[in-house]
Amino acid sequence: MATIPKPFWHAGAPSFGCNKSAALHVLQSSGRNLYDPAFTMPLAAVLLPIALLGPPRALPLPQPAATPISLPVQHSIGPSQRERRDKMPMYAAAADGGVFPSDDVHVALAPSVQEMLKEWALPMRLIICVRAASNAQAQPPAATVFDTPLQPIGSFALQPSDVKATIDCSRDGMWWPCPPEALDGVFDMQAVVVGGADECSLDAVGNWIGASVQFALDSRVSDRVRLTIDGRILASARGPTRGVEWIERPSPLRSSALGRDVMQRAAVVFPADYSNVYARRRVWPTVYVIPPQGEFATQVEAIAEMLRVAGGSEAWPNAVHVVLDPSGPFGHHAFVDSMANGPCASALVQELIPALEQRFRLISKPSARLLLGHGAGGWAALWLATEYPQVFGAAFASCPDAVDFSSMVGVDIYRDESLFLSPNGEARAALRLPFGPKHDLVPLRIAEEVQAAAVVSPAGRSGTIWDEWAARFGSTSAGSGMPRRLCDPRTGAIDPVAVESWSAFDLVRRARQDRDGSARTLAAVARILVGDRDQRMREVGVANLQGVLVGHMQTAVIEGEDFPVGPGWIEIIGGADEADVRLLAQLRFGWEMRDHLVQCGHQE
């Protein structure tokens, strides 16, 4: 019988144990935001000398799965969640046939705002954001998208001809989950006009906005709500950052595809010895960092601090880091060539990277170009590595989004009929929070997430995860040019035409069908880290990818063929959620990237 080699494909690391009690206790007792890279990345460098993880260890080879792996997930709904009713957006009265006195909602526009909006050529929407006054974590626009449970929101189409001193928002709009006349209690409310071409978030630069105002709402009477829009969100002045050079250059490829001027943005972060004429190294390897949506600036600051603290040590690679801005008109474009966002991958590989290597002293070899990303950035790192193996030599991905479309936040888009309901009729969770060793609290359901996004932007420009995926993976609708959503936002019925276009970006399906291409590349260059308590249930797709690659390895052994058994690896960490993995990825990947560069002769 042939001996099966033991590659570095982890079936799952031991339960966190001492790692969590040591490193993560420091974080959890600090009161800091565990998702903030400006905090976790420098702290990772400080914790590295503790050597909590030790060098990577090869674990026994898991048996391949004949069918996709489905990890059991138990969702425990808390009492406050049981009290919440499912309500559809876009209705005039509350659910259950209730009729309430209509509230009098008006938004006043300052004269300067009126002048700009009357001349604005792009589509606009007036958004009214609502937040329970007891929720003091965020201003109303952010609360609409990021708070759980999601806060109420209203949306109104706005044409230049509609612009006047006061806009009546009492009717002809969409509200989720209910109109203001159905609300009782004290709420903060704020009005925003969204109309930019390059960014779609409610707090994007260029949006018009007013102050947050507090109202006491009573469903028994007609409330009077008066809001004002008198300002605009401007870009923060970006002063010089030590060791950083900000890059902004036009992209002819994307500009031609989208029919307007499109800029590429990045930040080059230099190691301490880059300008040292006495340094042993004169040309440098490059780590291309792809941050999650909205973290471009914070990642730049965090990487700069990381290089100051740990650059050149055994903790972190001594390399030039290029932090890429993944923002597009529909959110995180993940460097995919798509119909909605344009040829983002081609622009990176054919335009930006050659320009950087010509301007700076960067090594022009695949082995000297590394990809590093988290979440959507993790998926992008894996995608670019498989699409351009002749360009990139290694990819490091933590908690990568949607590697398997048969398990997208628990949904099998190929077989399931509804995005909102499981086959047994239960509401699907969009987000889970570990609640004890066996249960999860579900603060957000997919129906809520999709329907709120449809109210923010019926055209699919909400910037939330399902709209990002539609722009990234899907086709565009004839006539409007807007992304075709995966499902009907009213019913959750999955669109089979959309599924067909999405399937081309399914990494697990590609690896299963393309053993000598995508699968071979992933086995050779991908390092993937995820926890089995991930908030978006990403570990299921990663486990399925692991099973496909291991199956290819075993088939190759039986047939006497060659298939890589590393140095790529996949590790699913027991008991870890996304915040845990984000910290541990800094620890693990720092060592791994440095070792890769040393072995390839790009670092001493």
pLDDT digit string, tens, across residues 529-545: 999 999 999 999 999 99
pTM (two decimals): 0.84
Q: Is the pLDDT of residue 38 over 80?
A: no
* Measured CA angle at 152 (ends 150, 154), to 5 deg: 130
- Give the domain-ending residue among 446, 481, 504: 504
Q: What is the pLDDT of residue 54?
A: 35
Which token pair is 225? Answer: 């709500």
If asked whether residues 362 and 391 sit together in one domain, one would say yes
The DSSP code for 61 is P
pLDDT, one tens digit per residue, over 296-329 is 988 999 899 888 876 667 788 999 999 999 998 8
Q: Is the peptide bond before 567 cis (omega within 30 degrees of 0)?
A: yes
pLDDT, one tens digit per residue, over 96-148 is 334 557 788 999 999 999 999 998 888 889 999 888 877 656 667 766 665 66
1 occurs within a structural domain = no
If asked whether residues 280 and 391 sit together in one domain, one would say yes
Residues with Cβ within 8 Å of residue 515, at least 6 apart in sequence: 552, 555, 563
If asked whether residues 265 and 357 sit together in one domain, one would say yes
205 occurs within a structural domain = yes
Q: Region 65-80: what's the mean pLDDT?
A: 32
Q: Is the pLDDT of residue 163 over 50?
A: yes
pLDDT, one tens digit per residue, over 438-448 is 888 888 899 99
Quote the percentage of the chain above a pLDDT of 70. Answer: 80
Residue 339 · residue 257 · CB < 8 Å: no
Residue 557 · residue 5 · CB < 8 Å: yes
Residue 95 · residue 44 · CB < 8 Å: no
Q: What is the pLDDT of residue 136?
A: 58
- Give the domain-ending residue among 504, 527, 553: 504
382 occurs within a structural domain = yes
Q: What is the pLDDT of residue 63?
A: 33
Of the candidate ranges 82-86, 263-267, 433-437, the one whose mean pLDDT is the lowest? 82-86
Residue 543 · residue 572 · CB < 8 Å: yes
Top mean-pLDDT range of 150-154, 456-460, 475-479: 456-460
* Measured CA angle at 319 (ends 314, 324), to 5 deg: 125
Of the candidate ranges 243-247, 344-348, 440-444, 591-595, the one whose mean pLDDT is the lowest? 440-444
Please give the torsion angle defined by the CA atoms of residues 35, 37, 40 and 41, in that order, rounded to the nearest 10 degrees: 150
Q: What is the DSSP string of 382-411?
A: HHHHHH-TTT-SEEEEES-S-S-TTSBTTB
User: How far, in Å, CA of 302 to CA of 32, rounded?
Assistant: 15
Q: What is the pLDDT of residue 13?
A: 35
Q: Which residue has the higher pLDDT, 132 or 368?
A: 368
User: How far, in Å, CA of 408 to CA of 598, rounded?
Assistant: 37
Q: Which residue has the higher pLDDT, 267 or 140?
A: 267
User: How far, in Å, CA of 25 to CA of 47, rounded?
Assistant: 12
Distance of alpha carbon 317 from the chain centroid: 25
Distance between terminal CA atoms of the chain? 42
User: How far, in Å, CA of 289 to CA of 521, rounded?
Assistant: 19
Q: Is the pLDDT of residue 572 over 90?
A: yes
If asked whether residues 103 and 24 sit together in one domain, one would say no
76 occurs within a structural domain = no
User: Nearest Cα to 230, choosing from 107, 109, 106?
Assistant: 109
User: How far, in Å, CA of 374 to CA of 401, rounded?
Assistant: 8
Count of helices and strands (H, E) across the chain: 18, 25
User: Nearest Cα to 341, choosing from 324, 326, 354?
Assistant: 326
Side-chain-side CA neighbours of residue 602 (13 Å)? 26
CATH at residue 352? 3.40.50.1820
If asked whether residues 173 and 297 sit together in one domain, one would say no
Q: What is the pLDDT of residue 100?
A: 57
If asked whether residues 398 and 436 sit together in one domain, one would say no
* H helical segments located in 138-251: 140-146
User: How far, in Å, CA of 179 to CA of 116, rounded?
Assistant: 29
Q: Is the pLDDT of residue 525 over 80?
A: yes
User: How far, in Å, CA of 414 to CA of 426, rounded?
Assistant: 19
If asked whether residues 56 and 115 sit together in one domain, one would say no
Which domain range does residue 171 map to? 89-232
Q: In this structure, what are the phi and psi dihedrals at residue 287, rounded to the nearest 5 degrees?
A: -105, 115
Query: What is residue 335's three-state secondary structure?
Result: coil
User: Nearest Cα to 525, choosing from 367, 290, 323, 289?
Assistant: 367
Q: Tally the domains of the chain.
A: 3
Total length of the chain: 604
Q: Is the pLDDT of residue 21 over 50?
A: no
* Four-residue CA torsion sign, 352, 358, 359, 361: positive
User: How far, in Å, CA of 302 to CA of 154, rounded?
Assistant: 36
CATH at residue 176? 2.60.40
If asked whether residues 279 and 397 sit together in one domain, one would say yes
If asked whether residues 137 and 33 sit together in one domain, one would say no
Q: What is the pLDDT of residue 406?
A: 96
If asked whether residues 268 and 334 sit together in one domain, one would say yes
Q: In this structure, what are the phi and psi dihedrals at residue 529, rounded to the nearest 5 degrees?
A: -130, 130
User: Per residue, what are the HEC states of 295-314?
Assistant: CHHHHHHHHHHHHHHHECCC
User: How far, in Å, CA of 270 to CA of 360, rounded?
Assistant: 10
Q: What is the pLDDT of residue 565?
A: 78
Bridge-based pairing state of the strands 231-232 and 208-209:
antiparallel
The overall average pLDDT reported for the chain is 81
Per-residue confidence at 365, pLDDT binned at 50, 70, 90? Answer: very high
If asked whether residues 396 and 337 sit together in one domain, one would say yes
User: How far, in Å, CA of 152 to CA of 145, rounded?
Assistant: 10
Q: What is the pLDDT of residue 350?
A: 98
- Give the domain-ending residue among 202, 232, 262: 232
Residue 453 · residue 462 · CB < 8 Å: yes
Q: What is the pLDDT of residue 498?
A: 94
2 occurs within a structural domain = no
Q: What is the pLDDT of residue 279?
A: 81
Q: What is the pLDDT of residue 205?
A: 83
If asked whether residues 357 and 379 sit together in one domain, one would say yes
User: How far, in Å, CA of 49 to CA of 370, rounded?
Assistant: 24
Q: Region 426-445: what's the mean pLDDT?
A: 89
Q: Is the pLDDT of residue 484 over 60?
A: yes
